[in-house]
Every structure is written in C-alpha cells, then in structure tokens.
Amino acid sequence: MTYLVETTKAGPTGDPGTEPGQAAEVAGASPAGITLTGIGKSYGGPRDALDVPRLAIPAGSFTVVVGPSGCGKSTGLRVIAGLETPDRGSVLIEGTDVTGLPPGERGVAMVFQDFALYPHMTVERNISFGLRLAAKHDRRGGPRRDEISSRVADVCARLGLSELRGRLPGQLSGGERQRVGLARAIVRHPAVLLLDEPLSALDAQLRQRARAELVRLHRELRNTVVLVTHDQLEALSMGTNLVVMNRGRVVQSGPPADVFRYPADTFVATFLGSPPMNLHAVTPVGDGRILTGPGLAARLPTAAGPVLLGWRPADGLLEPLGPDLAGPAGVPTPGGPAPVALADQAGPARAGEPAVPGEPGIVLHGVVDVVEFTGDGTVVTCVGPGNGIQWAVSLRGIDNVPAVGAPVRVRVPAERIHLFDQDSGVRLGAGPRPGGSGI
Amino acid sequence: MSSASEIAPASPPRDGTSGPRDTVTGPSPGRRPGSRRARRAVGTAGHHAFLLVAVAVMVLPVLWALATSFKTAGGVFDENPLPLPPTLDNYRVATQDFPVWRLLLNTTVMSAGVTLLQLLIAVPAAYALVRFPPRAHRAVTAIVAITLLVPPQSLVIPLFLMISHLGWRNTLPGLILPQLFGTGLAVILLRDHVRAVSPTILGAAALDGARPFEVLRLVLLPILRPALGAVSILLFITAWNEYLWPVLAAPDIDHATIQPGLAFFLTQEGPEYGPLLAGSMLATLPIVVVYFLASRRVTDAFMHSGLR
C-alpha cells in the first residue's frame, strides 16, 4: 500500500459509479440458495461489522467466503445461521424469509471452528441429537427411531466414524472431531451447510485430506455449502463460487478463477495469491501508453493515466542482468515516442534503470534481496531503486536461481498486467468488469 | 527461590566468583554453597512453622471439643486433655434426652430446600443473563451483586414480621423462603460458569433445533454438572451453618435446626458441656462427610466464591 501516491484525478477508464459492494450481485440468481438483502450489523464500533447491500449465494454452489480476520465473514455466516440477529436487512434461504426464525427452523446446519461437540454425549448421540429433538418436537411427522439409527449409521459409514460411535468427544483426535462435527451437520440433510473455518484446527497434513473430503461430500450431497476461511489457498482451491470480504463489506464475488484473474481492486489483488500481487505506482509519459516508475518502465496497448500497475509474481520472467546489459537510462526504442527522462521521477537517473520496452509489457530492474525455496519453486524478492521498493517473482524451477545481490531484470507480458486506480484501488479497464461474469 | 535465581541469571551472583548456574545447582565449586542452602532451609522451616501454628489455631479447639465430648461429666474441666477413660455417655444423653436426630433432620431438610430453591432460581437466571442478555444486563448483574452486600441482619426484622403475619413461624416455608435472599451469590457464581461454556456448543444445540429450555436442560446442565456440584455444596454448607434466622423463625424444639438447637443443652441447671459438645460434633459430622466425599469440589467452591 506504500505505493499509493497522491494524484489529482483517477484515470478516465474507471467507472467510479460502481460500488464495490454491488459487485457481489449475481445477475439473474434464482430465489433458491441464500440471498442477503440490506444486511447490517454493528457492535458499536466506528464502522459496521457487517454491511452487505446484496449478496446472492447460488443454490448448490460451494461458496467460499474469504477475508482477513475481523472482516465480518464469520458474522455473516452467523447471521445466515440465525445465531446472530442483524440490525437491519433480511435473509432468504431457498426463497423463504428466515430473518425472524430461530436457528433450528432455517434448514441450515453448521460446522464450527472448534467443532462444538457436546462433551457429555457419545459420538452417536452427538450426531443423532438434532434428529432426536425433531422426533420429540413432532411425534407424528418427525423421524422414527429406526429411521434415526439408520441415518446415523449411514453418515457414520460415509465419514468413517462407525468404529468410534461409542466414544466421547474427549477421546477423539482433532480430525475425528472434525468429522463428527460434519456428520452431525449433514445427518439432518440440511439445504444449506455452513462451515466456519472447519479446517483451521487441523494440522497441515490432515487439512489437505479434509479439504478433498469436503469437496467430494459437496459433490455427492449437492446442497448449498458456505465455507468461511481466512486461508486464501482454501478459498481458491475449494469453491465453485468465491466471495471476498473486507471491513464488513463484500468486495468481489464470482468463480475463483475469475476473481483471481480479474481482481476488482488492490485489496483482492493482494489478498489472493501467494506471494501477493506486486503493485507499482507509475506516471504516464507522452501519450499515456508509456508508464514509468522507479526501476520500472512499461508500455501499454492503450493509454492510461497515473495508475497502479499490478502483476502476479508468477507472471514475471526473470533474467539475470549482466553488466553489459545494464545499459544507460533513456535509450531510444524503436516505435516508442520520445526518450523517457527517468530523472523526472525518482531522483537522478542511474545505470540500471530499464529502457522502455518495445513490445507492450513491463520491464523492471532490481537487485535480488531474498531467495526463498518453496519446494516446487523459488520466490525471489528483489529490491528496486528508490526507497525500498520491493517486488517478488516466483520461479517454477529451482535451477537458474540468481544469487543474492545479483542485478536482475523482470519482464511481464502486457496481457498479464493489471491496472488499478491510484486513489480508490479499483480495477481499471483490462478484463471483465467485476461481477459481470455471472454464474 | 531457586527458580527466581534461575530465571534471572542477569542478577549478579552473590557469592562473587561463581556464575548463577553454579549457585542454583548445589554441588558446585562455588565458595559458600552451604550457607545459602542453610539459609533456604531456615526459610522453609520458618514458613512451615507459621503454617503449623495457623493449622493448630484452627484445629486445636475442634480436637479439644472432640476429646471433651468423650469425657465423663466430672472430667470436663480436667487438666488432662485426653478423655481417659473415654465414655459415650454424652452421646447417649444427646441422642436420647434431646431430640438431636430430629434437629439434624430439620437442618438437612432446610439446607436441602434452600440449596435446591436457590439453584432453581439461579440456574435459569445465570443462563438468561449470559445467553439472552437484556438491554440492561450490566445493571441487572450489578443489582444482583449488590444484594450480596446487604447485611442479612438488616433484613431480619421485616422478614420476621412477614412470616409472623403469615403464620409461618415454625414451618418449613417460613424457615426456607426468607433465606433465598442470598440467591445472588449463586447467580453470580453460576453466571461465570455459564460464560465459561463455549458459546459455539450452545449455538450448535440451537442449530440442531433445541429450544432455549432444551439447550439449558440437555446441553448446558450436563456440561455445568461439576460447577453445579461445587456451588450446591457451598450453598448447602452455608445454609447448614445458618444461625440467626432459624433461631427466630423456628424456635420450637420440634422445628428448630441443629445450630440454634444446641442452645437447648444450656439447661436451667446450667450448661451441660459434655452433651453440648457431643451435639456439636454430631452437627459438624454431615459437613465432614460431605467434605470427605467431595473435598476437591468444596475447596473449589470456596476458592471461587471468595468467601470464608
């Protein structure tokens, strides 16, 4: 965020009338699924803990709600569950307004982060609790005793809990507890399954397996699943629909690939993806198709104002920069308009400032600062000229990794460049409008 | 003390040459490790001596009373603290000439009644205060806490007038109901215990379709069982030891409780110390039994209540 530079007015390509919150709206969503309208919830803080003008979660989708801690995602889930009463607005589940209904009558089930098993009941009784209550409340229409036991047996078999039915929660491992919590939730065949960070209490190995199990379960049950997480990897990998939240608002929603490819603003851009997207504040030169910043030069296919240039670390092509390649700044390039006077931007020009590329794209010069080996690849963090400007490039292999301190050049192809408004951080131009993709 | 020097190695070692590690682990080439160890031993001994005195101050009178309760009528004022030869005469007098069993039964019924009714009020109150807090729940909680500060003696006269007009003297309702003014303590204690229960468990029960009262009965109460045990023991012992109110509410020997009932041993011919002490021993016996059955919980209860 240190890139944010005070400028006068945003570029003309932006559409300032579009509220980020409205990006959440899914055009033509059926009344099935979950619809939040005008939901607000405040805990007395300076801003609302939750402020969602409209959010539609399609029926049958595996929707992942992601955001940093305190962004309101868990509050939103609890509002859907009925554990929290919103200050205003309404919740529709499968077309029915459930805003005033108690949690048990909404047709939703939930798996909690701490699993919330009843410590004094065996696994079997934990799972059957809801069904037994239903039988008690409705002696005629409720489930019969043999139906309850067969449903519990089914779900135990499905989740591999058959051997553990007589145990108490205190005698189970974390993964087993998680499965009991899941079994208790799905045994009632809920139309909506809510998962509140169900994997965060598991260790890394177990989490990978549990993730796959959840996805498989959703494929078999075909109900609407809403999973809340702060883990951006879970967010991208598990869902068919992704909702990104920040500061109580929905910032963007859509298929994970679309959200990742066309982040609606700099928050989404830097929150999803690891390492996060690199952002650079740049100034246009000439007709606006050439942009420069410290240690950076870019050529765009179309003109832009003063913007934030973004690129994902995996999209950069790293090349070692020999001393002979580190040519002087401002070398005229064929097809380019005028030589770029970099001295105007970041102090005196240095050897190592990149030339404006001939093809559309970004060229950055920097010095390797940190090299992180991640197993499959390597993340190289580089420092550009100027005041501690950093950017990261991920390399697929582990060969040809530059040494720390080596001067390097990174090229980013034009189609991988993201543009954001310097003031609002909203995405400009390139790519479909947020939310326009539909589901 | 040793841990203090262990975690603060930066402080200069007092015996000069050796490092802090040497001074902590005994067999070291430090100059005078012995003196330090001796000083520590003296400190420990002093500490224990203090504790022993404190225990003696509390236990000796009880042991004395226990011993005297086995003495013959003539030996009560002997210099010899030991009841030689021991006799059960006092217990015979206490249980046959006086209605000690009746008094103990009355006390048990009263204490059980007070405990049960207090729990019956306090459990739903604590549950509601935590799970369904009214808008002014802080004020409500504060008012409940303030009732603990009202001296019971100040309520005795109005309460006495009330039960007199109702004709409730020497009845169980007259004995029990006015003692419920102390329910605030149970509410405050249980409220803390309810707050300690993970809200997600109660939320899960609500999502499973449990109505608020079912959440309380089927989920919260089983989880609170240890806490309820501790609190009810505390309430029971407090009610058992109650003196002032039973004296006023149930002066009749058939309806009296054991604590004021002991006064019946102070006969017109003077106090009968032997049977009196035998009665006292019998009065404390149930408490001792409760303590042995659940000593951990009793300790917990008193530690958490911050009383006595």
B37-75 residue pLDDT tens? 888 888 888 899 999 999 999 999 888 888 888 888 777
Residue of B209, B219, B225 with shortest CB distance to A104: B209
Distance CA A336, CA A327 (A): 17
Contacts of B182 (CB under 8 A, 6+ apart): B118, B147, B148, B152, B238
| Residue spans of beta strands (DSSP E) within chain B | 266-267, 270-271
Beta carbons of B207 and A137 less than 8 Å apart: no
Nearest CA in chain B to A196: B200
Question: How far is Cα of residue B286 from the mean position of the Cα atoms in its chain?
Answer: 13
Chain A neighbors of B209, CB-CB under 8 A: 104-105, 130, 133-134, 137
Q: What pLDDT was estimated at residue A405?
A: 86
Look at B201 and A118 and tell me if their CB atoms are within 8 Å: yes
Strands A317-320, A283-285: pairing is unpaired
A366-388 pLDDT per residue, tens: 889 999 988 888 999 998 876 66
> Are the Cβ atoms of B201 and A108 closer than 8 angstroms?
no
Q: Residue A139: pLDDT above 90?
A: no
What fold does the segment set B98-303 form as a domain? MetI-like fold (1.10.3720)
Distance from the B212 Cα atom to the nearest Cα atom in chain A, whole angstroms: 10
More confident residue, B230 or A126: A126
Percent of chain B past pLDDT 70, that is, above it, reads 84
The label of the residue with tokens 């939930």 reads A110
CB contact (8 A) between residue A120 and residue B223: yes
Residue A230 pLDDT > 50: yes
CA separation for the pair B163, B177 (Å, rounded): 10
Q: Which residues pair with A19 in a beta bridge?
A: none
Instruction: Determine the average pLDDT of the residues in B151-163.
Output: 91
Which candidate in B207, B216, B228 is best for mutational testing of the A interface (most A CBs within 10 A)? B207
C-alpha–C-alpha distance, residues A423 and A266, integer Å = 11
Residue B255: Cβ-neighbour burial (10 angstroms; 0-12, 13-18, 19+): buried
Residue of A nearest to B209 (CA): A104
B201 contacts on A by Cβ (under 8 Å):
116-119
In order of A147, B76, B305, B306, the CA distances from B280 in angstroms are 61, 15, 26, 26
Q: Is A392 left (phi over 0), alpha (psi -120 to 50) or beta?
A: beta
Asked if the model's pLDDT at residue B76 lies above 80, the reply is no
B217: chain A residues, CB-CB within 8 Å:
none
Average pLDDT of every residue of chain B:
82
Dihedrals φ, ψ of A290, to 5°?
-110, 130
What is the model's pLDDT at position A323? 55
| Residues A66 and A242: beta-carbon distance below 8 Å | yes
Residues of B with Cβ-Cβ distance to A104 under 8 angstroms: 206-211
Query: Could you tell me the pLDDT band of residue A3, with boundaries at 50, 70 and 90?
Result: very low
Residue A96 has pLDDT above 80, yes or no: yes
Contacts made by residues A154-157, CB under 8 angstroms, sequence distance 24+: A155/A127, A155/A183, A155/A186, A155/A187, A156/A123, A156/A124, A156/A127, A156/A183
Q: Could you report how far apart the first and last alpha carbons of chain B are, in Å?
A: 30
A427-428/A418-421 β-pairing? antiparallel
Reported confidence tier of residue A341, pLDDT bands at 50, 70, 90: very low
pLDDT greater than 80 at residue A179: yes
Strand-pairing partners, residue A368, are A382
Q: What pLDDT score does B301 carry? A: 65
> Which stretch of A298-312, B119-133, B291-305 has the lowest confidence by average pLDDT?
B291-305
Average pLDDT over residues B154-173: 92
Q: What are the chain B neighbours of A184 within 8 Å (beta carbons)?
A: 204, 208
Find chain B residues with C-beta within 8 A of A120's C-beta: 222-223, 225
Q: Are B242 and B156 in contact (CB under 8 A)?
A: no
pLDDT at A345: 37
> Averaging pLDDT over each range in A307-311, A344-348, B98-102, B225-229, which range is the top one?
A307-311
Q: Distance (Å) from the C-alpha of residue B232 to the closest C-alpha of chain A?
A: 20
Is the pLDDT assigned to residue A32 strictly greater than 50?
yes
Between residues A105 and A327, the one the model is more confident about: A105
Beta carbons of B209 and A82 less than 8 Å apart:
no
Nearest CA in chain B to A83: B203
> What is the ipTM score, two decimals?
0.77
Residue of A78, A93, A133 to mutate when probing chain B, most B C-beta within 10 A: A133
pLDDT bracket for residue A31 (50, 70, 90) = low
> What does DSSP assign to residue B71?
S
pLDDT digits (tens, 9 = 90+) for B258-304: 888 888 777 766 677 888 888 888 888 888 888 787 777 767 666 66
Chain B residues inside the 8 Å CB shell of A103: 203, 206-207
In B, minimum Cα distance to A181 occurs at B204
Q: Which one of B208, B224, B228 would you mutate to disrupt binding with A, by most A Cβ within 10 Å of its Cβ?
A: B208
A246's tokens:
């920040």
pLDDT score for B34 = 67
Q: What is the mean pLDDT of residues A63-88?
A: 92
Among A243, A197, A220, A219, CA closest to A439: A243
Q: How far is A261 from chain B (nearest CA, A)?
A: 36
What confidence tier does A270 reach under pLDDT thresholds 50, 70, 90?
very high
Q: CA triplet A202, A206, A207: central angle to 5 degrees?
A: 65
In terms of Cα–Cα distance, which of A208, A211, A226, A178 is closest to A55?
Answer: A226
Round to whole Å and give the CA distance between B119 and B225: 12
Test the B interface: residue of A106, A125, A129, A151 with most B CBs within 10 Å: A129
Percent of chain A scoring above 90 in pLDDT: 46
pLDDT score recorded for residue A163: 93
**Is the pLDDT confidence value at A350 over 60?**
no
Write out the two tokens for B7. 């975690």
Confidence of residue B125 (pLDDT cuts 50, 70, 90): very high
Which residue does chain B place closest to A185, by CA atoms? Answer: B208
Q: What is the mean pLDDT of residues A389-403?
A: 84
Contact B210 A110 (CB under 8 A): no
- Of the candidates A423, A309, A426, the residue with the CA atom closest to the CA atom of residue A17: A426
For the question of whether the overall pTM of this predicted structure is more than 0.80, the answer is no
Q: Write down the pLDDT at residue A255.
A: 93
CB neighbourhood size of B40 (10 A): 12
* pLDDT attached to residue B268: 67
Give the closest residue to A200 by CA, choosing from A299, A137, A115, A319: A115
Cross-chain CB nearest to A108 (options B200, B207, B222): B207
Q: Reduced to 3 states, what is the DSSP secondary structure of residue B134?
A: coil
Residue A142: band (very low, low, confident or very high) from pLDDT cuts 50, 70, 90: confident
Mean predicted confidence (pLDDT) in B160-189: 92
Q: Is B224 helix (H, G, I), strand (E, B) or coil?
A: helix
Contact residues for B306 (Cβ-Cβ < 8 A; gap 6+):
none
Mean per-residue pLDDT for A412-425?
Answer: 90
CA distance A116 to chain B (A): 4
Report whether B289 contacts B138 (CB < 8 A).
no
Tell if the CB–CB gap between B205 and A129 is shorter than 8 Å: yes
| CATH 1.10.3720.10 residue ranges for chain B | 98-303
Q: Tell me if chain A has a CB within 8 Å of the CB of B204.
A: yes
pLDDT (0 to 100) of residue A111: 94
pLDDT for B7 equals 43
Which residues of A are less than 8 Å from B204 in CB distance?
A: 110, 112, 116-118, 184
How confident is the model at residue A51, as a pLDDT? 92
| B114 in contact with A, Cβ within 8 Å | no
Among A167, A199, A212, A185, CA closest to A66: A199
Q: Which residues of B touch A102 (CB under 8 A)?
A: 206, 211
Residues near B9 by Cβ (< 8 Å), separated by ≥ 6? B19, B20, B21
Interface of B with A in 43-62 (CB under 8 A): none
Q: Is the model's pLDDT at B137 over the cut of 70?
A: yes
pLDDT of residue B272: 78
Closest CA to A297 of A314, A313, A280: A280
Is the CB of residue B207 less than 8 Å away from at least one CB of chain A?
yes
Query: Angle of helix B221-240 relative to helix B273-293, nearest 10 degrees?
Result: 170
Q: Name B308's Cβ contacts closer than 8 Å, sequence gap at least 6.
A: B302
Compute the average pLDDT of residues A62-74.
Answer: 92
Q: Please name the residue of chain A whose CA is at the shortest distance from the CA of residue B200.
A: A116
CA distance B268 to B276: 14
Q: How far apart are the first and last CA of chain A?
A: 31
